[in-house]
Each structure stands twice: as C-alpha cells, then as structure tokens.
Amino acid sequence: MISLTPRVRNFWAVINFTSAEVTYREYFNSDVIIVEQADGAKASGRVTPTNKNDGPRYSFTPICRGDLFKQVAEVIAINLNINRPLFLYLRLKDYGAGTVIDLIDILEYVLDASHHLHLQD
C-alpha cells in the first residue's frame, strides 16, 4: 500500500556561518526541501528531471526569483543527482558559492542523500 503521508525530517544546521532551519519531506513521488535563515531572501520553485538522453537533465519551474532559483537549483540538482521532482523553498542570507556548497554538504550528510533523496547510483 502506498502511503500519502510524507516522511519528514526537520533540523537546524549552520550554513555559511548562519543558522538555518532545514525541513525535508519525502512524498510518494516527489521531495520537498525547505531551508530558512532569518532575514533571508526567498527563491523557490520546482526541479523536474527530464527523460532526455541529450539536452538538459532538468527542467526548472521558478515561483520566486526565477533567475536566482534556476542557478541555485541546477547546482543542487546536479550535485545531488536527483531523479524525481523536487520542490525547493529557499530563504537564504546569500546565494554565493560558499552558502550553496554548505547546503549541499548538509543535505548529503544529514539526509543520507543516497537513500532519502532516491539518488541514482
């Protein structure tokens, strides 16, 4: 039987020297990651893997701050090698390389990304 109730992990982490609340929700056919730092700027949207052998690996549907979202979401999607839809809601103090790298490291380590995000081998 398929459960429609998400598996939820909620924790605090330090991302680029600033604390952040991180929530990960694993649904039957998609995942949600919410990362919030106090007074952060919002960027959000959906990342969907494409089934194309050539061309882009992911399509991006921004909801807030489209250009910024696409840049950050692409780096996250490629580094985590997602293989199903992922909704990202980010509210970060900055979106520089150090912040994004810290975020990816935390998601890989704390969420055991190879299992919880249904990553490809």
Interval 48-94: pLDDT, tens: 999 877 778 899 998 988 888 999 999 999 898 888 999 999 999 99
**Domain edges within the chain:** 7-114
Q: How far is CA 49 from CA 28, 56, 107, in A?
A: 16, 9, 18
Specify the higher pLDDT residue, 12 or 67: 12
* Residue 8: band (very low, low, confident or very high) from pLDDT cuts 50, 70, 90: confident
DSSP classification of residue 6: P
- pTM, rounded to two decimals: 0.83
Crossing angle of helices 97-110 and 66-80, in 10° steps, is 40
Alpha-helix runs per DSSP H in 1-121: 66-80, 97-110, 113-116
**Helix/strand/coil for 62:** strand
According to CATH, the topology of domain 7-114 is Ribosomal Protein S5; domain 2 (3.30.230)
**So what's the pLDDT on residue 53?**
76
Q: Which amino acid is at 39?
A: D
